[in-house]
């Protein structure tokens, strides 16, 4: 007679949000017996393909959200919730990066830090960040918040944040804002702080125009300027200025191309290494006036402008 198989207790089914991501051909962790790609992996893949191209659209400071997500190493912004802060939460601070790459952190005093530059599990960064924020608001003080896939149909940042609230980034030279007292930080956080500070590129936000960030690199400096205008119209305007010799920001500067990030276009200029943020303030303000005039034009592009546009398009890089 064949031996009877020992009986095992049935596994308690996992909640959808607790199911980890595994290889497509591996058994699904939910215990269904099917491969991951044919079970919960199908929903995960569907979420990834449903990419929201402008996840920060409708938020105050959309251009700065994009800059802090993609371009700025160390910055913080105080966030305002609709209806005010919950009891026991003195403040909510958006940060570009948090120690140990935590998605969020609830400090001992109840304050919440929300990390912006973390990987997200779905195609909607806004929904994932909102889910992390909601869990941080109820987390135990002194604990980090882990990442996860946001439930389908859950709130987005646009549902949680006050649309009238100011969005005023503060750019830092390092990441000391992580901890109130860096000298007494744990060894793990101290090591993470040291690594982050060593890798941070000096960055300054211009004050005379919106969402423009100067940064310093060993060979040359750059200005990266997130703009809210529709991409095709903006490229036409930049081409008009470039063909007319009006696309630079002064002697030795050059418009070298643009990034495409989260549905917005980010023109980039090379600057001489001796040109700092203060020196570029006035040229940037003057360029903004020239750009406004170029954006207002509906005239067909000339042959030179079309060539200039083609060059700009060829040098465009998509970040997200």
pLDDT, averaged across the chain? 89
What gap in Å lies between CA 16 and CA 31, rounded to an integer? 12
Please give the model's pTM, rounded to 2 decimal places: 0.83
Which of 3, 30, 35 is CA-nearest to residue 14? 30
Supply the pLDDT for residue 178: 87
Q: How many CB atoms lie within 10 A of CB 183?
A: 6
Q: Of 32-36, 102-106, 127-131, 257-261, which gets the smallest average pLDDT?
A: 32-36
6 token code pair: 């020992």
Q: Please tell me the predicted confidence (pLDDT) of residue 39.
A: 81
Of 24-28, 83-87, 214-218, the one with minimum mean pLDDT is: 24-28
Round to whole Å and give the CA distance between 275 and 290. 21
Is 3 a residue whose pLDDT tops 50?
A: no
Residue 263 has pLDDT above 50, yes or no: yes
Mean pLDDT of 90-110: 95
Question: CA torsion sign, 162 to 167 to 170 to 171?
Answer: positive
Residue 5 has pLDDT above 50, yes or no: no
Q: Are 63 and 211 in contact (CB under 8 A)?
A: yes
Q: What's the pLDDT score for residue 37? A: 66
- What burial letters (b/e) apply to 22-58, b meaning 16+ CB within 10 Å? eeeeeebbbeeeebbbebbbeebeebeeeebeebbee
How many residues are recorded in the chain? 320
At 149-207, the pLDDT tens digits run: 898 889 999 999 999 999 999 999 999 998 877 677 788 888 888 888 998 999 999 99
> What confidence tens digit (pLDDT) does each residue in 41-79 have?
665 555 444 789 999 999 999 999 999 999 999 999 999
Q: Is 241 within 8 Å of 291 (Cβ atoms)? A: yes
Model pLDDT, residue 26 = 76
Residue 142: count other Cβ atoms within 10 Å of its Cβ.
11
Q: Which two tokens stand for residue 123?
A: 């195609």
- pLDDT, tens digit, 9 for 90 and up, residues 268-301: 999 999 999 999 999 999 999 999 999 999 999 9
pLDDT over 50 (residue 10): no
pLDDT tens sequence across 199-226: 899 999 999 999 999 999 988 999 999 9
- Residue that has been written with the tokens 């389908």 in this structure: 152
């Amino acid at each position: 007679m064949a031996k009877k198989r020992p009986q095992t207790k049935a596994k308690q089914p996992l909640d959808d949000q607790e199911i980890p991501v595994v290889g497509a051909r591996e058994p699904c962790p939910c215990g269904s017996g099917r491969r991951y790609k044919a079970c919960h992996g199908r929903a995960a893949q569907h979420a990834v393909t449903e990419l929201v191209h402008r996840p920060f659209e409708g938020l105050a400071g959309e251009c700065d959200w994009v800059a802090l997500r993609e371009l700025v190493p160390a910055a913080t912004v105080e966030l305002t919730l609709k209806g005010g802060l919950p009891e026991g939460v003195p403040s909510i601070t958006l940060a570009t990066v948090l120690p140990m790459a935590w998605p969020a952190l609830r400090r001992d005093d109840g304050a919440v830090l929300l990390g912006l530059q973390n990987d997200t599990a779905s195609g909607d960064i806004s929904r994932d960040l909102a889910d992390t924020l909601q869990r941080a608001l109820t987390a135990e003080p002194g604990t980090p918040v882990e990442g996860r896939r946001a439930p389908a149909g859950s709130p987005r940042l646009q549902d949680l944040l006050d649309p009238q609230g100011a969005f005023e980034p503060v750019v830092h030279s390092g990441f000391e804002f992580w901890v109130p007292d860096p000298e007494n930080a744990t060894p793990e956080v101290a090591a993470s702080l040291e690594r982050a500070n060593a890798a941070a590129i000096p960055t300054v936000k211009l004050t005379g125009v919106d969402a423009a960030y100067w940064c310093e690199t060993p060979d040359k400096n750059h200005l990266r300027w997130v703009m809210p205008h529709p991409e095709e119209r903006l490229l036409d305007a930049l081409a008009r200025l470039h063909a007319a010799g009006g696309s630079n920001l002064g002697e030795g500067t050059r418009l070298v191309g643009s990034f495409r990030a989260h549905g917005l276009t980010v023109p980039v200029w090379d600057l001489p290494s001796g040109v700092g943020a203060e020196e570029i303030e006035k040229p940037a303000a003057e360029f903004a006036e020239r750009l406004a005039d170029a954006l207002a034009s509906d005239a067909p592009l000339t042959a030179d402008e079309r060539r200039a546009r083609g060059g700009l398009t060829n040098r465009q890089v998509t970040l997200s």
